[in-house]
Amino acid sequence: MSSVSSQPQFRYTQPPSKVLHLRNLPWECTEEELIELGKPFGTVVNTKCNVGANRNQAFIEFEDLNQAIQMISYYASSSEPAQVRGKTVYLQYSNRQEIVNNKTTADVVGNVLLVTVEGEDARMVSIDVLHLGHVKAISSVAA
């Protein structure tokens, strides 16, 4: 049984959105657990886990706005709060209408080459010389 908190389970500060913002999640919460939480209300098309300063927040996006409204309405009128791993989860509409990117920075492929050239021959190395090394794009920053 979860402890009763003085913190409200819902905040109605945003207009309805098919994306819901979940707070107070267990740190180890997975995308699969978020999908299971939303499954009774409709099709979850996207999730974003472990966001926020404490990594205890997430977003779930439903296929349809009415599915998100149904989930919020259900838990607003239920005596049993939304829970993940026995921990009460706080729900609210997101200020976003869709989850744009489900990848973390570590998942995004970004080939970056940082070059520092030192010594007296450093003036001999130009961007053109570096580009010969099959670099696809070069962005230079003047010092």
CB atoms within 10 A of CB 121: 8
Expressed as residue numbers, the domain containing 21 is 10-93
Per residue in 5-19, pLDDT (tens digit) is: 444 455 556 799 999
Alpha helix stretches (DSSP H) within the chain: 31-38, 65-77, 127-131
- The reply to whether 28 falls in a domain is yes
- The reply to whether 118 falls in a domain is no
- The reply to whether 59 falls in a domain is yes
Q: What is the pLDDT at residue 16?
A: 94
CATH number of the domain where residue 18 is located: 3.30.70.330
At 139, is the pLDDT very low, low, confident or very high (cuts 50, 70, 90)?
Answer: low
pLDDT at 3 over 50: no
Per residue in 40-83, pLDDT (tens digit) is: 999 999 999 888 778 899 999 999 999 999 999 999 999 999 99
Q: Which amino acid belongs to residue 29?
A: C
How far is Cα 96 from Cα 89, in angstroms, rounded to an integer?
A: 19
Q: In angstroms, how far apart are the furthest CA atoms of the chain?
A: 74
Q: For the chain, what is the domain count?
A: 1
- The reply to whether 46 falls in a domain is yes
Q: What is the pLDDT at residue 85?
A: 94
Q: What average pLDDT does the segment 99-124 reach?
A: 65
By CB neighbour count within 10 A (0-12 exposed, 13-18 middle, 19+ buried), where does 30 fall? middle
Under 8 Å between Cβ of 87 and 23:
no
At 92, is the pLDDT very low, low, confident or very high (cuts 50, 70, 90)?
Answer: very high
